[in-house]
Structure 1
């Protein structure tokens, strides 16, 4: 398989993963061995790196790989969002049950992977408890009550894309945790610009600001971050089980 084809296939499955809570797009990117270049591409997004020299741009941003990756990702999101919205709308209980189980399993998988690196002690329980409490709090906050503002959707886009950059943490799982998953998926499927425009602005803002911050946080506090958000997703998965 050529590298370009690998990036195209990876883009399609990353797009699909980002629509399914519990599956991390970054984890899929790692599985296809494209995550490192993707993060490097984001880290190189600086004004002083921009140029009309296409050869230089390609060396810095891997455009021959990244552009097909994003095109495949966009195609995946556009075409599979309608199917996922159909499942969510027509088979709500079954769909939510499947997502809840998936989110819990992914959280347990995160814990299993971390057990070799993290000694279970008081700090482990503190981070786990903090993540679990935040999951409960988020589940009880209505982020889109009445008429959600333009700014709220910018914030949601910022949050979703930031979590997209974290390996093992699903951006859609966070959207589900804060109760906006159906709105965002529906807006993508039905091309609702009043939601998509501010959401895209939030994603773009995160893309420009967060890669270096996330790289720093992961290099310094990776285990703590993964335990915290693993607990958040686990509790959120339990809470979305249909009653």
Structure 2
């Protein structure tokens, strides 16, 4: 990486980080999706990949400035600041909106992910039989993950580390939600409790797991993009399309779990048609308003694409 990052671009990167952080807070939505449609996905993977022993050699031989440039340090730092700002400041807002207005929020994400899938399909330069197979595989995997019943675990430090490794890999994949993976592992509430109560040791171990997973997985993704770009893009598109199952607004709750605050929250849910939703749940389907928010999600992706094309 040899980019000189100018101030206007830093502002754009920070805004992308805000959007990624907001997405990663929601179980079922991935910050990797936002990174992709805003045009920074491959740069993010390559930048993280460059944090390796060679960067240490550059630091020793050529100094801090050369090392910082080699790892695209300004890009990574500003993006991380945006993500952290969003997680800290928007987590409660998004949680409130999901609780108070779930149908319209999920409708917005449905439009967002549907439009993002179309955007990603256009990035595949050639549709070979193998690429089509990878697309189908991605859909099946993402849909299957959404159908897995969440587990319950005793949160040891080793499990905190492993959860960090797995969740961060999911977070950088379009269509695979890191928050949802934590929920499946039975660690979502434990991680939130550790963060809320500032339990330093679990937080440090979880962060170490995230760092290990990110550095390792970025190497794999970078290699896949260079060697099998279209197949990789098709697989990631499949992940995104398969995740539409998770963000379908109208759901029937089959079972619940108790979070760290003692609240009963949905655990297993089944998708239902809008016209069946009211008879099953006794709640209004709000179809016209939901359609409006689906359209707003589509428009949001269009605007994000414009941002990515102008400043990417």
By the TM > 0.5 criterion, same fold? yes
**Displacement, 1:44?**
0.7
The aligned counterpart of 2:51 is 45
Q: Higher RCO, 1 or 2 (CA under 8 Å, sep at least 6)?
A: 1
Q: Mark the CA change 1:185 to 1:49 in structure 2 (over 3 Å): closer, same or farther.
A: same
**Displacement, 1:186?**
4.5
**Displacement, 1:130?**
4.8
> 2:168 aligned with 1:154, yes or no?
no
Q: Mark the CA change 1:240 to 1:215 in structure 2 (over 3 Å): closer, same or farther.
A: farther
User: Residues 145-186 of structure 1, C-alpha deviation per residue, up to 9 Å, x if partnerless?
Assistant: 4x2222222222112211222234432343345554444345
The aligned counterpart of 2:79 is 69
The aligned counterpart of 2:200 is 193
The aligned counterpart of 2:172 is 165
The aligned counterpart of 1:10 is 16
Normalized per residue, the structure richer in helix is 1
RMSD: 3.6
Q: Mark the CA change 1:132 to 1:82 in structure 2 (over 3 Å): closer, same or farther.
A: closer
The aligned counterpart of 2:26 is 20
> 2:217 aligned with 1:207, yes or no?
no
The aligned counterpart of 1:135 is 146
User: Residues 189-238 of structure 1, C-alpha deviation per residue, up to 9 Å, x if partnerless?
Assistant: 4434354233212111112211011223453443134325642x344446
Aligned length: 234
**Displacement, 1:43?**
1.3
Distance 2:138 2:17 in 1: 32
Q: Mark the CA change 1:163 to 1:102 in structure 2 (over 3 Å): closer, same or farther.
A: farther
Distance 1:203 1:43 in 2: 14
Gaps of 5+ in 1: none
**Contact kept? 1:100, 1:241, Cα under 8 Å:** no
Normalized per residue, the structure richer in strand is 2
The range that moved more, 37-46 or 180-189, is 180-189
Structure-2-length-normalised TM-score: 0.60
Structure-1-length-normalised TM-score: 0.74
Q: Give 1 or 2 for the bigger CA radius of gyration.
A: 2
Distance 2:140 2:223 in 1: 24
